[in-house]
Structure 1
Amino acid sequence: MQLTTYIADLLYRYECVIIPGFGAFLTRYKSAHIDDTSNTFHPPSKIVSFNKQLQANDGLFANYVASAEKCSYETALQQIRSFTAQISRELSEGKTISFKNIGEFSFNEEKSLQFEPLQQQNFSTSAFGLSSFVSQKISREAYRETVEAIEEKTPIHFTPERRKAKPYLKYAAIAVIALSAIGFGSLKLYESQVQKFNYAEREKANSLVENQIQEATFVIENPLPVLSLQVPKHTGLYHIVAGAYRMEANAEKKVSQLREKGYSPLKMEVNRYGLHQVLYASFDDKLEAQRKLYEIQRSENADAWLLIQEIQ
């Protein structure tokens, strides 16, 4: 099924992918961890789950199918309806439906839909190229015993006769230590005097600057005129959506990016699915909105889609 491949593609980029009339795939981030029982290191991942209650079309999946298949939005919706009707029929016949790289669906004895995610698949882009691996446990006690055994075999011996044979070395070492101590003490005394001098000079400079600031008079002969900004409002029934984000920080980042490109974006209030939608623009005329949507899809964002809704 080609549509299951499109679903897997979207799960890498979004936390919620709704299949109209069937349900929604949800992802949850899981940080890297270590399994103490098997000494297995696991990279960060995204856990996939399924919610049958989320079936309302949000446009994300249909727009992606239309872009990938190079067909109209209505044709993509028809393909999705045929797809969901087929898998619902096969499930009712007792078959197990496998979504490639995602998981399997089946009915239990109570005729309730069950989803079993594929554990080997990781949809977290931050873990690209990483895989789980097993590392043997480090035995610190064994290393300590090895070191103790080496120390017993290679003891350090001092030869008193050699020290007595060259007594001048002892006095030379004492002289070096004494000279070092004197030099170190002199250096510290010099550093202390430099710090005191610098502190006194800095206080004088600060006092002089404060007096000059108090005596200064600032006169602005030609003040700048007051700047009035007219922020365009989003009105109309047809809106071009740049993206839907689970985290509000990501939506704010998208708004800033669109402003830099010259748009007047709008971040809508969180919808009932917990998503923040960011709008390119709004239109009263549907044909005008569709023309602008196709232009945006061709030039910069193939995943942009049209939302038909009244906003406050």
Structure 2
Amino acid sequence: MEISQYIKELLLLNDCVIIPEFGGFVANYKPATIENNQFFPPTKEIAFNNKLISNDGLLINYISEAEGIDYFNAKQKLDSFVEETMLNLERNRNVYFDSVGYLHYDSRENLQFEPQLKQNLLVESYGLQNFSYEKLYQRQMPKPAIKVEYREPVPVIFQQRKLKKLAIAIPLLIAMALIPMKKNNEYLSKSDMGLWETLIQSTPTAPIQTQEQNLTEKSINVTTAPEIEQLKYFIIGGSFKSEENADKYIQQLKEQGYNGQNLGVFKGLNRVAIKGFSTMDEAQKELNSLLSKNPASGVWIHVNP
């Protein structure tokens, strides 16, 4: 059997096999790798070191046992192999070691080793082979269709909100619905009811005339309203931050036959009353009447302390 075969067999169980006066083969562990969708199991990488020339007896003893000869004859056989190998290298020939690789001199007379492992020399990887696999791609899952339900909008007739948010805009709605829109374009442009102008113009309403007012028009007798000090309950038609706007609103109420009154500033707003009453029952009755005609007006009852 050739010496190169003995070297391969020794590399299966050893990490270093030295050829006396020539060099040694060194095996290094290489973990499993994946390259180009191909799996490679763990193995041994073989390198050659020409400085390992000391005789450790491993290769000679193995030759002696394999061929059944004594140590001296085994050493002579190995020496002859080394001499022949050196001669082939000097002649620029490649020296092959079975299933391990080959040696040669490069252009600068440096000894080079090219590993060419034909089998995995790592015993722990016995039975494992290289294999290829298909590249996995992320599957594009179709998104579930979303069912959109279309619902008809529900008109909001009236919704009670906080007084701070409605104190400016909503309380004027009932007053502007009851009063004709003559000569009030300038007022609307400066007040908080400017955005309701189009709505009110499209749905004109006649002013409310009480039985007492009708009798007054026929008899041309003007009924004097009770003084504000004698009244305690008032129906508020609007609240204004500007006193000028409050006065303009009062003037419009008077042109329509209402004795509007500025009750003063409450929480930074001038409260303008449409009517005043001496009892709560009268005020509540009138409030119910106004709300039944226009539920979204936002009129309310103010009580003097």
Larger radius of gyration: 2
TM-score, normalization: structure 1? 0.45
Report which of the two has the higher share of helix.
1
